[in-house]
Chains A and B, each alone.
Chain A
Amino acid sequence: MGNGAPFVPGRVFSKVPGVAYLLVVLAVAFAIFESRFATVANLLNVGVQSSILLLLALPMTLIIMTEGLDLSMGAVLSLSTVVMAFALVNGHSVVAAVARGAFVGLAFGAGNGLLVVVGRIPPFVATLGTLGIAQGIALVATDGQSVVGVGARLPALYRATWLGVPFSIAVATAAYLVFHTLLYHTRFGTYVPALGGNPDALVLAGVRAKTYHMAVYALGGLTAGFAALLLTGRMNSGHPIAAIGMEFDAIAAVIVGGTSFERGNGWLPGTVLGVLTVGILKNGVDLMEVPSSLQVASIGLLVIVALLVDQLRGRLRGRA
């Protein structure tokens, strides 16, 4: 299946992952059974809660398309909230603080890229190692405590709305547009699916495949570091383990969104659907006062069910 022109209607239908149906079913069910669900305020809330996850899931889509993985994103995001909070505590401007956080993320992403592409260490292992390193640095730097006293500027920015759109939704939308353009309208984007499946063909075609491959990981780190802007704003502080495990939510969202681990094909709008489904599921069961323990289980079930739906559709299509 081609990678360009993602909005041709016939093609879109065959690409729509099973999670789209789950999303509709969930939304309708919550709207019927829970009167507080289908309100503008609540749906905006879902968007706000989903925006950080989207920032991780977008680059994760590209990384998984290269048949890779980045387990370090949650730890890098946490470390960046610490770096950002320290910069703000020390009186730096919001821009300088965000730049520092994003730079730390970029450094880790580039490190992942070097380990995977030059060191040829399997992505699972390489990013598990950098997960430990990022988490360790954050814990040692803060002694495991929150970094408080970030001042009022970043939280104020986080709470700002533009024409009724919360800041975090605006940031997430902008990030989506950037990634959509990168993946579907640049040369870099055309190479992404081939990097995992057939890098030799790229090299024979004269493409500096290694550079592009490393860039995919660097982009992941950079975006995770940048996402600390939203997390630090939301928490009003930095915390060394604030986002530990969030990379798994991101992987879940990407996978249920129809991007496959094995075939190098991915669909960025599907990732948005995946993120929204995770967000709506969490929000809906929360409103229905399901014990938080079973909310955790519901995400696991979502992953399994969404993939099963896709498999079933694949088999039916194979038979047709």
Chain B
Amino acid sequence: MRSVGSRLIVLAVLSIGLAAATNAFLTVSNLLNVLRQASLTFLLASGLTLTIVAAGLDLSVGANVGLSACLAATVIKSTGSIAAGVAAGFVCGVVIGLLNGALITALRLPPFIATYGMLWVLHGITYWYMAGETIHDFPQGFRSIGSGYLLGVPVPIYLMAVALAAGGLFTRYTTYGYELYAVGANGEAARLSGVPVRARLNLVYMLSGAMAGLAAIVYLARLNSAEADIGEPLTLPAIAAVLIGGTSLFGGVGGLFGTLVGATTLTLVLNGMNLLAINANWQPLVTGAIVLIAVGVDIATRQRMESRA
């Protein structure tokens, strides 16, 4: 929690700096815009966070968004039913998550390999399924999931709040949540203390797939257009948000609130660069540097605390 506190301070300093540097930053519409962007990243990164907490990894989240969004798009177009499209996208995400879980727990593939292989399989299927087509112009009711407002606040921000609240309750106040951290910190110890490790891992990959399916629907509604490559640029920012938020790849440390702070920090920096008219080509460099600094400072702090203890 202390590390999340220090991240909030960094976020505040960044905001003050941006507010001082450009008039366009501190407007309600821009701040809502930043939060809406961050909420899309957060939705995708939240399930990923849980897999990393459990010492796993889900590299397939971006590709999952690609297939789920394209499937939802075709179902909406062919049936005309928004509910059917949303259900198709969500179920597609869940099924992919279950497959990842099966590869990792039943066939015992390392998570990196299983979800990386899944990434390419999903990319391939999506490109084949779409055959170069673009599907666009969805019903207004569907588009409002991504670009609508409720009481002046963009709808995705509500979704983010719900996901954060539900995820927070799940990880903090249920046995399942505690067991995830136990599995991540020391899988063998967790198994010996009676935690059904495989069942928990299956659950976590399913949740990651489900959140990717949900994110796919929101992205699709926001973009109002589906192409095979819709999910491709999303994986690395999602991983970056988790890492910037202080969740450790070694497992057992971190959580959803950190990921929210990470997603907001990343979005804020990229938004600030846009407002300051900095060439977008700098974005990968800046993202990479922030990840290194955030994780580096974390590790240095932990080492200092350990050497004092």
Contact = CB atoms under 8 A, between A and B. Distances in A.
A292 B284 CA distance: 28
B309 interface: no
B91 interface: no
Nearest to A129: B292
B250 interface: yes
Contact of A126 (B113, B239, B250, B292): B292
Nearest to B228: A293
A119 B302 CA distance: 12
Contacts of A248: 116
Interface stretch (A83-91, A97-105, A136-144, A170-178): A136-144
B10 interface: no
A252 interface: yes
B173 interface: no
Nearest to A115: B292
A300 B121 contact: yes
A142 to B, nearest CB: 9
Given A120-B299, A128-B239, A140-B279, A295 B249 contact: no
A298 interface: yes
Given A125-B249, A139-B281, A308 B109 contact: yes
Given A135-B285, A136-B281, A137-B285, A121 B299 contact: yes
A293 B124 contact: yes
B80 interface: no
Interface in A134-164: 135-137, 139-140, 143-144
A140 B282 contact: yes
Contact of A136 (B121, B284, B291, B292): B284
A122 B124 contact: no
A294 interface: yes
Interface in A257-276: 261-262
B303 interface: yes
B295 interface: yes
A291 B126 CA distance: 12
A297 B284 contact: no
Nearest to B60: A300
B282 A294 contact: no
A93 to B, nearest CB: 29
Interface string A32-66: 00000000000000000000000000000000000
Interface in B211-268: 228, 236, 239-240, 243, 248-250
B117 interface: yes
Given A124-B249, A297-B128, A133 B285 contact: yes
Contacts of B128: 291, 293-294, 297
A262 B110 contact: yes
Interface string A285-320: 000000111111111110110011001000000000
Interface range on chain A (Cβ under 8 Å from partner): 35 or more
Contacts of B289: 129, 132-133
Interface in B258-309: 279, 281-289, 291-292, 295-296, 299-300, 303
B201 interface: no
Given A121-B299, A135-B285, A304 B292 contact: no
A131 B283 CA distance: 12
Nearest to B130: A293
Contact of A128 (B114, B121, B236, B286): B236
A304 B103 contact: yes
Interface string B114-144: 1011111111111110010000000000000
Contacts of B124: 293-298, 300
A231 B123 CA distance: 25
A311 B284 contact: no
12 contacts: A119-B296, A121-B299, A129-B289, A133-B288, A137-B285, A261-B113, A293-B124, A296-B120, A297-B125, A298-B124, A300-B120, A301-B117
Interface of B: 103, 107-110, 112-114, 116-128, 131, 228, 236, 239-240, 243, 248-250, 279, 281-289, 291-292, 295-296, 299-300, 303
Given A128-B239, A132-B285, A296-B120, 7 more contacts: A115-B292, A129-B292, A135-B285, A139-B281, A144-B281, A291-B128, A297-B125
